[in-house]
Amino acid sequence: MGKLVVINLVGGDFERGFVISLQIWTEGDRKWIAEAKGKLPPAKELLEHYKYWQLKYRHHVSGNYSARMSVTGGTDTTIISDIKKASKQLKSSLNDWLKADYDFSPIREKLFQTLKDEAEEIRVIFDTNNPELERLPWHLWDDFFKRYHRAEVALSLPVNKNPIVSSINHQVKVLAVFGRDTRINLQKDWEMLKKRLGEDSNAALINIDKPSLESLCEQIEEHKPQILFFAGHSRSEESGENGFIDLNDEESITIDNLEPELRKAVKWGLQLAIFNSCDGLGIARQLALLKVPNIIVMREPVPDELAQKFLQRFLEVFAWGKPLHLAVRRARERINRLENKFPGATWLPMTFQNPSEPPLTWRALGGIEIKQPSNHNSVENLGTETENASHIPWLQTFFSPTIKPTPLSQVKGKTITCKNGHENLSTNNFCIHCGVPLNNVLICSNGHENNVNNKFCSVCGEQLQRTSTVIISTDESTSIQATAIPAPTQAPTPPEVTHLSGITGGNFQTIPENSSANIGNILSGRYKITQILGQGGFGNTFIAQDMNLPGNPLCVVKQLKPVQADPHIMQVARRLFDTEAEIQYRLGRHEQIPSIFAHFEEKQEFYLVQEYIEGHDLK
Q: Residue 80 in contact with residue 341, Cβ under 8 Å?
A: yes
Kindly give the pairing relationship between strand 227-231 and strand 272-276.
Answer: parallel
pLDDT, tens digit (0-9, with 9 covering 90-100), for 452-475: 556 666 666 666 654 332 333 333
204 and 337 within one domain: yes
382 and 252 within one domain: yes
pLDDT value for 258 = 95
pLDDT-derived band at 429 (thresholds 50, 70, 90) equals low
d(CA 45, CA 14): 8
d(CA 515, CA 57): 59
d(CA 284, CA 290): 10
445 and 365 within one domain: no
At position 51, the amino acid (one-letter code) is K
616 falls within a domain: no
Domain count, the chain: 4
pLDDT, tens digit (0-9, with 9 covering 90-100), for 256-309: 999 999 999 999 999 999 999 999 999 999 999 999 999 999 998 988 889 999
Residue 557 β-bridge partners: 542, 609
165 falls within a domain: no
Task: Give the residue-averaged pLDDT of 376-389.
Answer: 39
At position 226, the amino acid (one-letter code) is Q
Q: Residue 585 in contact with residue 496, Cβ under 8 Å?
A: no
DSSP state of 249: S
Percent of the chain with pLDDT over 70: 71
H or E segment at 90? helix 77-98
Q: Please, what's the largest Cα pairwise distance for the chain?
A: 99
d(CA 2, CA 574): 10
Beta-carbon contacts of residue 399 (< 8 Å; ≥ 6 apart) = 498, 500, 501, 510, 537
d(CA 14, CA 29): 36
pLDDT value for 549 = 82
d(CA 60, CA 72): 7
495 falls within a domain: yes
**Among 454, 481, 506, residue at a domain's last position:** 506
pLDDT value for 484 = 34
36 falls within a domain: yes
534 and 494 within one domain: no
277 and 192 within one domain: yes
531 and 480 within one domain: no
DSSP state of 409: G
pLDDT value for 452 = 58
At position 166, the amino acid (one-letter code) is S
d(CA 612, CA 242): 46
Task: Give the residue-averaged pLDDT of 187-203.
Answer: 87
**Among 350, 365, 386, residue at a domain's last position:** 386
How many CA atoms lie within 13 Å of 147's alpha carbon, on the beta-carbon side? Answer: 11
With a cut of 50, say whether residue 193 has pLDDT above it. Answer: yes
Higher pLDDT, 444 or 270: 270
362 falls within a domain: yes
At position 151, the amino acid (one-letter code) is A
pLDDT, tens digit (0-9, with 9 covering 90-100), for 115-139: 988 889 999 999 998 888 998 999 9
At position 148, the amino acid (one-letter code) is Y
Q: Report angle CA 378, 384, 389 to the nearest 5 degrees.
A: 115
d(CA 241, CA 282): 5
Percent of the chain with pLDDT over 90: 41
422 and 277 within one domain: no
Q: What is the mean pLDDT of the chain?
A: 77
364 and 275 within one domain: yes
Helix (H, G, I), strand (E, B) or coil at 520: coil
325 and 178 within one domain: yes
161 falls within a domain: no
Task: Give the residue-averaged pLDDT of 524-540.
Answer: 79
Task: Give the residue-averaged pLDDT of 419-443.
Answer: 64
550 and 526 within one domain: yes
Task: Give the residue-averaged pLDDT of 12-23.
Answer: 92
Distance of CA 611 to the CA centre of its chain: 19
Q: What is the CATH classification number for the domain harbouring 577?
A: 3.30.200.20
167 falls within a domain: no
pLDDT, tens digit (0-9, with 9 covering 90-100), for 51-109: 999 888 888 776 543 445 544 444 567 888 899 999 999 999 999 999 877 688 899 99
pLDDT, tens digit (0-9, with 9 covering 90-100), for 322-349: 999 999 999 999 998 888 888 888 999 9
Residue 517's domain comprises 507-611
Full DSSP string of 140-199: G-HHHHTT-TTEEEEEEPPP--------SSSPEEEEEEE---TTS--HHHHHHHHHHT-G
416 and 316 within one domain: no
520 and 533 within one domain: yes
Q: Is 618 left (phi over 0), alpha (psi -120 to 50) or beta?
A: alpha
d(CA 304, CA 314): 15
**Among 386, 405, 423, residue at a domain's last position:** 386
Q: Residue 356 in contact with residue 408, Cβ under 8 Å?
A: no
550 falls within a domain: yes
In SS3 terms, 313-336 reads as HHHHHHHCCCCHHHHHHHHHHHCH
Angle between helices 213-223 and 259-268 (to 10 degrees): 10
This prediction has a pTM of 0.62
Q: What is the CATH classification number for the domain harbouring 198?
A: 3.40.50.1460
**Cβ-defined contacts of 55-64 (< 8 Å, 24+):** 56/82, 56/83, 56/86, 57/83, 57/86, 57/87, 57/300, 57/342, 57/343, 57/344, 58/300, 58/301, 60/342, 61/300, 61/301, 61/302, 61/303, 61/342, 62/301
d(CA 346, CA 327): 13
Kindly give the pairing relationship between strand 441-443 and strand 449-451.
Answer: antiparallel
Indicate the range of 52-56, 297-301, 418-422, 527-531 predicted with least confidence: 418-422
d(CA 299, CA 290): 20
Q: Residue 520 in contact with residue 532, Cβ under 8 Å?
A: no
Q: Residue 156 in contact with residue 36, Cβ under 8 Å?
A: no
H or E segment at 228? strand 227-231
Beta-carbon contacts of residue 412 (< 8 Å; ≥ 6 apart) = none
Beta-carbon contacts of residue 329 (< 8 Å; ≥ 6 apart) = 139, 150, 151, 152
Q: Residue 486 in contact with residue 434, Cβ under 8 Å?
A: no
